[in-house]
Amino acid sequence: MAELTGLPIPKLDWNAPDLNQNYKRFKALCELLFKGPLKAKSEEELVSYLKIWSGEEGIELVETWNLSNDDQKKLQPHWDRFETHIAPKSNFRLARFKLRGMKQAQGETVDSFIKKVRMTVNECQYQNPNEHIIDSLIFGTNSQKVQAKLLQKDNTLTVDQALDIARTEEATEQQLTDIQTQSSQSVHSFNRRSRNNAQKLCGCCGKKHRRSKSRSECPALGVTCSNCHKKNHYATMCRTSETTQSATYPSQPSRNDKRRNGGRRRVHFHLHQYPVYMLCYSWSGLIQSQA
């Protein structure tokens, strides 16, 4: 079976809830393999493959058919007998009930959903299956826009036209989602680059360079700051604030000033260009401490 390496192997599930649909998928896959990788095999060999893939229950069923020697070597008699055995288990009313409850899953494409609808409609034995396919698309679509557009159409709407509307809307929604995702990713990427760039600035020289434990790459290494007179950083990156204060001391306080402040004197001076007010018990003490 080297010809089938990497290919899906058909399997007929006799316990499937919908055996008829399972058999149709099984037969379709078998025929693809028979016409493709197994094309060089004789028909008798293909019958053997069919029996193996039908499982133990299928092999036991074949043994009860009493086929002639010629029919035992042909595929068609086996297909006919399988279908005759499985067909009575198909219930068209059950298929119709199932069709009414079919809904397009979130993230499922229109084509995938319609494929399942078509397979179910084929079992319903409707006189006009296309009308029911359109109805199923209207009832089961997960897009309100598709539903609204289809409900606006009259009785001339065909299955192909309905599918074109649904596919166009699906493609538009996907493109909008992709655009929004790309835009969001671009914003996040820009913010991340900005943060990274800010983090790469050296705190000593204000430039970008490779970080090392010895700081040998930093151009400010050995430089004396003109602000704090410490080494290894530029004055523009200095973290030490210049303390510049100017004070204007008025003349000796008057008796009325002392009396209003309980013998204390309000002093006004500037520290870092911000006004500061102090109440001092002793004017002379303030002058001495200032000296």
**pTM of full prediction above 0.75:** no
**C-alpha pair distances (Å), 138 with each of 149, 175, 265:** 9, 23, 89
79 with 27: CB under 8 angstroms? yes
The kind and range of the H/E element at 268 are: strand 265-271
Tens of pLDDT along 72-121?
A: 999 999 999 998 888 766 678 888 898 999 999 988 999 999 999 998 89
Length of the chain: 291
DSSP reduced 3-state for 208: strand
Residues 6+ apart with CB under 8 A from 123: 20, 21, 90, 92, 95
Nearest-angstrom CA–CA distance, 69 and 135: 49
CA angle centred on 129, ends 125 and 130, rounded to 5°? 175
Q: Given phi > 0 = left and psi -120 to 50 = alpha, else beta, which region is 18?
A: beta
DSSP reduced 3-state for 250: coil
Tens-binned pLDDT, residue by residue, of the chain (291 aa):
677 888 889 998 898 877 888 888 899 999 999 999 898 999 999 999 999 999 999 999 999 998 899 999 999 999 999 988 887 666 788 888 989 999 999 889 999 999 999 988 988 888 899 999 999 999 999 999 999 999 999 989 999 999 999 999 999 988 888 787 777 666 666 666 666 555 567 878 888 777 776 677 788 888 888 888 888 888 888 887 544 444 444 445 555 555 555 555 555 454 444 454 554 444 444 444 444
143 with 173: CB under 8 angstroms? yes
Tens of pLDDT along 273-287?
A: 445 455 444 444 444
- Read off the DSSP letter of residue 256: H
Domain ranges for the chain, please list them: 2-89, 92-177, 245-290
Residue 4 has what pLDDT?
A: 80
